[in-house]
Amino acid sequence: MKSLLEHLSQYAYYHQDRRNVATHFIGIPMIVLAIAILLSRPNFSVFDVPLTPAIMAVVLSSVFYLSLHFLIGLAMSCLLILCLLIADYLAEQTTVEWLVSGLGLFVVGWTFQFIGHYFEGKKPAFLADVIGLIVGPLFVFVELLFVLGAKGEWKKQIEQFCDLKNLENDKTDGL
C-alpha cells in the first residue's frame, strides 16, 4: 500500500498550477458534499442501526484516511461527518430539493475541476489512477495545512517528487 506522501505526491503532479489548486479548493468540497447528499437516500436499518449509502461511503473513506495517517485521517473523518450532517438534512427535504442540491453541487463542483485542469494543461489525476478520486479531498485538506504554514517538510518532499517527475517527462518528450 502506498504511503500518505506517495498518494499526495502522485496527485500533486497533476496539480502544480496554483489556479488549478485554487479551483480544487472550491470544486472538491462541493463534489464530496454532493455525493454525500445523493447517497443519503435510501435510508435503511441493519440490526436497528440506521444506515445510508453515504454513511457506508464515509466509514470506508475514513478507514482509508486513518490507515494513511491517524491525525489527518481523524480530521478528514470529522469533515466527512460534517458533510453527512448537512446531507442528512437535505435528504429529509422534498425529492426535488434533495436532487437539485445534490446534482447542482455535483455539476458545479466538476465544472470548477475541469476549469482548473484547463489551466493546468493536464488531465485529472483519477484518469491515471482511480484512487485519485479519494485522494482529492485529502490533497485539498493537506494543501490547506500548507497554506496555514503546517507540514512544510511534506510540502518539500511533494515538490521534489513533482520536480523529478517533470524532469523525467521532459527527457522523454525530448527523445
Q: Is residue 27 part of a domain?
A: yes
| Residue 33 covered by a domain | yes
Contacts of 55 (CB under 8 A, 6+ apart): 84
Q: Is residue 129 part of a domain?
A: yes
Is 57 inside any structural domain?
Answer: yes
Please give the single-letter amino acid code of residue 58.
Answer: V
Query: What digits encode the pLDDT tens for the residues 37-76?
Result: 999 998 888 888 889 999 999 999 999 999 999 999 999 9
Q: Is residue 121 assigned to a domain?
A: yes
Is residue 173 predicted with pLDDT exceeding 80?
no
- Asked whether residue 14 is domain-assigned, the answer is yes
175 part of a folded domain: no
When mean pLDDT is compared across 7-11, 86-90, 128-132, 147-151, the lowest value belongs to 128-132
pLDDT, tens digit (0-9, with 9 covering 90-100), for 4-40: 999 999 999 999 999 999 999 999 999 999 999 999 9
Query: What pLDDT score does 63 carry?
Result: 98
- As a whole-number percent, the residues of the chain with pLDDT over 70 amount to 98
Q: Is residue 175 very low, low, confident or very high in pLDDT (cuts 50, 70, 90)?
A: low
Asked whether 87 and 36 are in contact (CB, 8 A), the reply is yes
Q: Which domain holds residue 80?
A: 4-170
Considering its fold, how many domains does the chain have in total? 1
Q: What is the mean pLDDT of residues 141-162?
A: 97
Give the angle subtended at the CA of 128 by the CAs of 7 and 64, to the nearest 5°.
35
pLDDT, residue 74, reads 98
Calculate mean pLDDT across residues 135-155: 97
Q: Are 55 and 46 in contact (CB under 8 A)?
A: no
Question: Is the residue at 110 inside a domain?
Answer: yes
Residues in the chain: 175
* pLDDT value, residue 33: 98
